[in-house]
Amino acid sequence: MAINPLRLKSIHHVELWVGNARQAAYYYRQAFGFSQFAYAGLETGRRDAASYALQQGKARIVLTTPYGPEDPINDHIRLHGDGARDICFHVDDADAAFAEAVARGAEPVSRPADREDGHGAIRHAAIAIYGQTIHSFVSYKDYQGPFLPGYAEKHAPGRDAGLLRIDHIVGNVELGRMNDWADWYSRVLGFSRYITFDDKDISTEFSALQSVVVADESFAIKFPINEPAPGRKKSQIEEYLDFYRGPGVQHIALLTTDIINSVTTLRANGVEFLSVPGSYYDALETRVGTIDEPLDTVRRLGLLVDRDEEGYLLQLFTKPVEDRPTLFFEIIQRKGSRGFGKGNFKALFESIEREQALRGNL
């Protein structure tokens, strides 16, 4: 298998299609600490939709809303609610990446084309992945603008929470399709299977899921893929698929080097997180050993901790950020561990099930 056959460089941005991008941009600035740096809309000559580009560290999100009811973006919003449409890659050559992906079995969405304005041009193309989600490819020609052609510089600061970059992006797919998509990432993007979790690893008395993590050769781009597993009651994956009306991005994990500061700031900003019982912390030191962070602070902030042979990590998951129980975020700090918190799965799952029960969806 060729290593990095599409010459992927990084995740360029994640685009969310939302019902009201102006209000969503305010939320992500005030709650999550992203700062707006660019805008495209009527004032910049774009007539079909408005887009707000936000950044924190190297993590960039774009929030897009259509102007007219006839725009196909509305079909996506009507079906899924607010959700992630595009996981965009920065590549050496969008034409070459698209051609190689299609040759390896990817379904084309948009063929390579120039996008240009007074600041220069880029090349853009896109392929389909699970559900109605896509991967787009962007390569730069002579573009010197603030973000992408059609955008103008427009700044609005956020309440920075010290988030550095996207650590991983998790997709939920239908029962029986997880391995299909893991194979797709291997065949098309040259990713390798990094970790696999089965229903023995991720289960409670009531529900279970299975997950496989695919990653590029540098482990900088990581995509866990989940599917439901049979259980006595409805799993969080089934709930997501029901309310999102199909497969899609379940959560986006954001990396920090100081999770205590980040979560303290996010909580003060009004971000709501899942909680675990106090009993989780009674045996924490026995389970994970000595950590650098004060245990009383870890307990007070509700942080989850897990250790593997490479080190440990700290993580915390928000509640869904939409009214539909779909998209949420994870805040993660890695102290050597490249894992995903396997030791926290049971506590996390039980916490999610409590929220499901409140919603009447367990």
Task: Report the Cα 211 to chain-centroid distance in Å.
Answer: 15
CATH number for position 108:
3.10.180.10
118 and 142 together in one domain: yes
- DSSP for 44-88, please give it: GT--SEEEEEEEETTEEEEEEEESSTTSTHHHHHHHH-SEEEEEE
212 and 335 together in one domain: yes
301 and 181 together in one domain: yes
Per the structure, the complete domain to which residue 65 belongs is given by 8-156
Q: Is 252 left (phi over 0), alpha (psi -120 to 50) or beta?
A: beta
261 and 350 together in one domain: yes
Is residue 141 in a domain?
A: yes
Pairing state between β 8-17 and 83-91: antiparallel
Is residue 187 in a domain?
A: yes
Spans of the chain, pLDDT less than 70: 1, 196-209, 231-233, 341-350, 352, 362
* Domain closes at, from 156, 181, 200: 156
What is the rounded CA–CA span in Å between residue 347 and residue 33?
27
325 and 191 together in one domain: yes
197 and 341 together in one domain: yes
290 and 336 together in one domain: yes
Q: Which of 301, 300, 263, 305 is nearest to 283 (CA)?
A: 305
* Domain closes at, from 156, 176, 196: 156
206 and 339 together in one domain: yes
Q: Which of 201, 202, 197, 204 is nearest to 179 (CA)?
A: 197
Is residue 320 in a domain?
A: yes
Is residue 125 in a domain?
A: yes
214 and 92 together in one domain: no
Is residue 21 in a domain?
A: yes
For residue 196, the model assigns a pLDDT of 64
- DSSP for 267-331, please give it: HHTT--B----THHHHTHHHHH---SS-HHHHHHHT-EEEEETTEEEEEEEBPPSSSSS--EEEE
* Domain closes at, from 136, 156, 176: 156
143 and 252 together in one domain: no
| Residues 292 and 258: beta-carbon distance below 8 Å | no
Instruction: Give the other-Cβ count within 10 Å of 278's Cβ.
Output: 9
CB contact set of 31 (below 8 Å; sequence gap of 6+)? 159, 266, 269, 270, 271
Pairing state between β 134-140 and 120-128: antiparallel
What is the rounded CA–CA span in Å between residue 166 and residue 44?
28
Count of structural domains within the chain: 2
Is residue 261 in a domain?
A: yes
- To the question of pTM greater than 0.75 for the whole model, the response is yes
104 and 239 together in one domain: no
Q: Which of 194, 204, 254 is nearest to 225 (CA)?
A: 194
207 and 334 together in one domain: yes
Is residue 24 in a domain?
A: yes
For residue 360, the model assigns a pLDDT of 87
CB contact set of 294 (below 8 Å; sequence gap of 6+)? none
What is the rounded CA–CA span in Å between residue 309 and residue 307?
7
Is residue 328 in a domain?
A: yes
For residue 344, the model assigns a pLDDT of 65
